[in-house]
Structure 1
């Protein structure tokens, strides 16, 4: 029997029209903050595809639908809070600032490799750009661009990458995109989360060999300035790259190493990191327990490298448990399971407990 629908506003009329055009419902309950549409599975084949259509229609109009299948089945629609976003000019300004900050930092790491003479400072900055800033920002940029493109494929609005300049250390706090729509389902959650680390890893792979080549042909100039030493992850040994340095590390080697370290850090399955997106997408709400396990792991290895405590605190403040997708009951494909396995393999290949230490 069709429900008796009394429409009280144009917004409500539109919501009812969109939902009931795809879902056979047996009851509709309206309260001051939401509309609930109750349905039976037996009346609705292909509920995942129907819900995705509803989601795409309503999100663009300022509403958020959420599918629940715990006990009673219903779709709950709420009004989306109004949000204001930065214009793209902010992305451009931050990118330019990050290029300059990473060039400066890279120039300091190039002191061991640039002979003094005419245009010494200019040559230092050129080395800083070519052998540090460019490869590092290429890896980070492709990582974030992959998130952006896959989000777009799933009809999830996202910002362009935001680069964060910081003129010490590695010259940047990294980059991120802002997802401006909620994640629709576990498939999208997995694929958007995995896209960045996989793209960044694949970008870094050939650069590993290029950097290793330059380390061998561009000889350092004594006296050496060696502020720190890095620990190379398993991927370096498997590829037969140089890892035992008696002298200073070449800036490009360090830049690509940072790219690999960023891959490992992002793949940690806790909080709002990429690894948490992937884990939640593949395992659903069963991922929550593992997130707590990895958080404890971060606090534990913080006794060997205190930087992990900073990451752990960041995870705590951004949310211990990954929020569910709008349709958290959708099934994932074999491809998504493969993406999860590939992501785990990349984490193992790029992770080190003590990534960096004083010289």
Structure 2
């Protein structure tokens, strides 16, 4: 220790040597935690600055709210699955009935809605529990997931967890950011594979009828099937299956749509902007200045992909936060990211590339 004093705001401040602090700082935090105190470590010109402050009072958990929102989201997603199967969204239930007779004769719409619900909520829920597991592993206090119900066609706006304590260092911040998208990405792959396994091979007469129906359906049923209009990951998975090489083969529609939503959610989360999951990752890898640069890149990527509303939402949230582009700051913002995590960062880049696709809806 070189010096100790109160800064102009009355915060106890200690100047320490500049030796590698990561493990020593963890010990300091553990000792301070027994007294209800936290510390933040920052670099100055010739020393490390340790600031000590009172740990924020823990807020009570709201498990009833978590459960209520989850049940509401199950209901809205189930309703969306039913709506999708019965054709309300394309405004012609008779046309949808013809699709159903061709793709799944005699199928129960409630069972189809349940398949969509299970597939989509598995992707969203396990994504959030990936974050929760990382937070628990690194002793970060966090809430249970808050699911957000929404209207058709998705039935949900996703889910989120709230941190009650900051990450200790950049390693922990990186793990927090990468864990959710990685788990959600894997589950999305599983749901995609299941949509292939439970797909159907149509006879040629039925396939001809399907082609006519698609032509009559118009824009809702017609979209380019290659990148960048469709994500690379879906094409790679289908390309690896012998079933998809059969021109008469059709994916299980409910699980396929759930997987497409999962790919979309993974992309929107892994974009390296602000306090999105990708923003946490870039903040951990590149620090505050690099995070700002990548936030500009992330917003530009959203605009290129035609997700204007989401880009605007991020900008609004940044403005309301009062901190602009600033990301989540770890307590130890001096120690660099571990080399192993820098390698894992390539996984984040791969997920961003594999899930990128233009929005199927043109907003402008």
Could you state the TM-score of these two structures normalised by the residue count of structure 1? 0.79
Distance 2:345 2:316 in 1: 23
Task: Quote the residue 2:234 is aligned against.
Answer: 236
Distance 2:222 2:63 in 1: 38
RMSD of the TM alignment (CA)? 3.2
1:34 and 2:11 are equivalent in the alignment: yes
Residues 21-77 of structure 1 show CA distances to partners (whole Å, capped at 9, x for unaligned) of xxxx23221366421122223xxx552112112223435644331102222322101
Contact 1:107 1:124 in 2 (8 A): yes
Task: Quote the residue 1:335 is aligned against.
Answer: 340
Task: Quote the residue 1:193 is aligned against.
Answer: 177
Task: Quote the residue 1:177 is aligned against.
Answer: 161
Task: Quote the residue 2:113 is aligned against.
Answer: 128
Aligned residue pairs total: 325
- Choose which of 53, 64, 67 in structure 1 pairs with 2:27: 53
Distance 1:40 1:305 in 2: 47
Instruction: Report how far residue 312 of structure 1 moved.
Output: 3.9
Distance 1:86 1:227 in 2: 43
Unaligned residue ranges in structure 1 (runs of 5+): 1-24
Distance 1:85 1:291 in 2: 35
Instruction: Indicate the SS of the match to 2:140.
Output: coil
Instruction: Indicate the SS of the match to 1:52.
Output: helix
Task: Quote the residue 2:79 is aligned against.
Answer: 104
Q: Greater shift after overlay, 259-268 or 210-219?
A: 210-219
Task: Quote the residue 2:308 is aligned against.
Answer: 306
Unaligned residue ranges in structure 2 (runs of 5+): 87-95, 224-228
Task: Quote the residue 2:350 is aligned against.
Answer: 345
Instruction: Report how far residue 215 of structure 1 moved.
Output: 4.0
1:63 and 2:65 are equivalent in the alignment: no
Instruction: Indicate the SS of the match to 1:36.
Output: strand
Task: Quote the residue 1:160 is aligned against.
Answer: 144
Distance 2:156 2:284 in 1: 29
Task: Quote the residue 2:92 is aligned against.
Answer: none
Distance 1:152 1:105, change over 3 A: same
Task: Quote the residue 2:91 is aligned against.
Answer: none
Taking the TM superposition and a 5 Å limit, the aligned residue runs for 1:317-336 are 317=319, 318=321, 319-336=324-341
Distance 1:209 1:247 in 2: 13
- Choose which of 261, 267, 272 in structure 2 pairs with 1:269: 272
Distance 1:38 1:248, change over 3 A: closer
Distance 1:187 1:248, change over 3 A: closer
Task: Quote the residue 1:316 is aligned against.
Answer: 318
Instruction: Report how far residue 124 of structure 1 moved.
Output: 2.0
Distance 1:299 1:107 in 2: 30
Residues 322-349 of structure 1 show CA distances to partners (whole Å, capped at 9, x for unaligned) of 1431111112222211221111101100
Q: Greater shift after overlay, 286-295 or 160-169?
A: 286-295
Contact 1:94 1:162 in 2 (8 A): yes
Distance 1:330 1:163 in 2: 34
Taking the TM superposition and a 5 Å limit, the aligned residue runs for 1:288-303 are 288-298=291-301, 300-301=303-304
Contact 1:214 1:250 in 2 (8 A): no
Distance 1:257 1:143 in 2: 15
Contact 1:228 1:356 in 2 (8 A): no
